[in-house]
């Protein structure tokens, strides 16, 4: 069975060694499958791999550091969404959402792991929240990104498109990964590190909500696509999807050696918002 947690003794916390070994294993096993599905296009494969690694590496970091909780980590706890709603709407709360979001947009580096958890979950209680939002720029950025290679000017255009999409959807992990890719080609190291860290914090926030093993400990997500983004962090291949009433998505996956298992995602906020805004459409 695919392990739910990665257990590492304190004396073995060699981050670069752990990540290198795990990335090598994942990449070697999946290379042939992905190459076949994309017709052998090595350039397209390498670009897609960037997104996989951007999300996979923070997950390994979380798994390694999770047993040692501190000010920058979160112990797993199922969220009380009613309490989250009250906190982000309370002007006297440290998690009052307009203030938190302002800090997030200003790239405040003092935001804690707990702040990111309230940012992510609390966004679903904002009037602007739409889990099915489609950006006007999606086609343009996808068409450009799927080219085999990019000039510096094209990379700058990718950055512009990604920022426009994030201005409308501040938790779009895939566009953040595009920013990592494009800024890396532009040698903008500070931007690469910033967006890698932001992905890390948001993935941490999702993973902190459960272990995905049962409906009671399902991972909370505020966008359907985040389920698949999180599965990318685990290095597993999604095989099938089922909806389990009243509010759970169950996705069956295969691990790197072919073992099957599944993960549960709590989509209650997505369903509630759909009922509130779109049920009559």
Q: Quick: pLDDT tens for 182-200.
A: 999 999 999 999 999 999 9
- Residues 6+ away with beta carbon under 8 Å from 26: 52, 56, 235, 256
CA 18 from chain centre, in angstroms, equals 21
What pLDDT, on a 0 to 100 scale, did the predictor assign at position 281?
A: 58
The domain segmentation of the chain, as residue ranges, is: 14-210, 215-277
The predicted structure's pLDDT at residue 278: 72
238, β-bridge pairs: 253
Structure tokens given for 153: 């000017």
Integer distance in angstroms from the first to the last C-alpha of the chain? 43
pLDDT digits (tens, 9 = 90+) for 104-113: 999 999 999 9
- Three-state DSSP state, 124: helix
Structure tokens at 127: 């009037």
Pairing of strands 260-266, 219-220: parallel
Structure tokens at 3: 């392990």
pLDDT at 255: 79
Q: How far apart are CA 36 and CA 279, in angstroms?
A: 40
Q: What is the pLDDT of residue 189?
A: 97
| Residues 138, 119: Cα–Cα separation, whole Å | 24
Q: Where are the alpha helices (DSSP H) in 66-132?
A: 81-89, 97-105, 113-122
Q: DSSP strand E in the chain: where?
A: 219-220, 237-244, 248-254, 260-266
Q: Which residues of the chain have pLDDT under 50?
A: 1-40, 55-70
β-bridge partners, 237: 254
pTM: 0.78
């Amino acid at each position: 069975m695919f392990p739910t947690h990665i257990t590492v003794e304190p004396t073995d916390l060699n981050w670069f060694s752990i990540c290198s070994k795990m990335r090598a294993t994942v990449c070697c096993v999946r290379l042939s499958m992905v190459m076949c599905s994309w017709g052998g296009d090595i350039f397209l494969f390498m670009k897609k791999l960037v997104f996989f690694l951007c999300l996979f590496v923070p997950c390994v970091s979380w798994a390694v550091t999770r047993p040692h909780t501190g000010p920058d980590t979160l112990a797993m706890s199922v969220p009380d969404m009613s309490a989250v709603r009250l906190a982000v709407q309370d002007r006297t709360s440290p998690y009052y959402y307009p203030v938190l979001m302002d800090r997030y947009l200003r790239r405040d580096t003092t935001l804690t792991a707990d702040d990111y958890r309230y940012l992510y979950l609390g966004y679903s209680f904002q009037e602007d929240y739409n889990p099915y939002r489609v950006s006007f720029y999606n086609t343009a950025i996808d068409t450009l990104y799927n080219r085999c290679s990019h000039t510096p000017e094209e990379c700058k255009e990718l950055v512009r498109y990604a920022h426009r999409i994030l201005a409308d959807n501040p938790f779009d992990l895939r566009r953040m990964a595009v920013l990592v890719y494009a800024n890396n080609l532009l040698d903008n190291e500070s931007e690469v590190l910033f967006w890698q860290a932001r992905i890390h914090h948001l993935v941490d926030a999702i993973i902190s909500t459960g272990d995905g093993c049962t409906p009671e400990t399902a991972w909370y997500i505020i966008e359907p696509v985040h389920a698949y983004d999180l599965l990318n962090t685990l290095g597993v291949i999604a095989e099938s999807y089922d909806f389990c009433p009243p509010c759970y998505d169950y996705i069956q996956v295969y691990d790197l050696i072919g073992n099957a298992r599944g993960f549960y995602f709590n989509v209650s906020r997505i369903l509630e918002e759909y009922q509130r805004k779109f049920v009559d459409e």
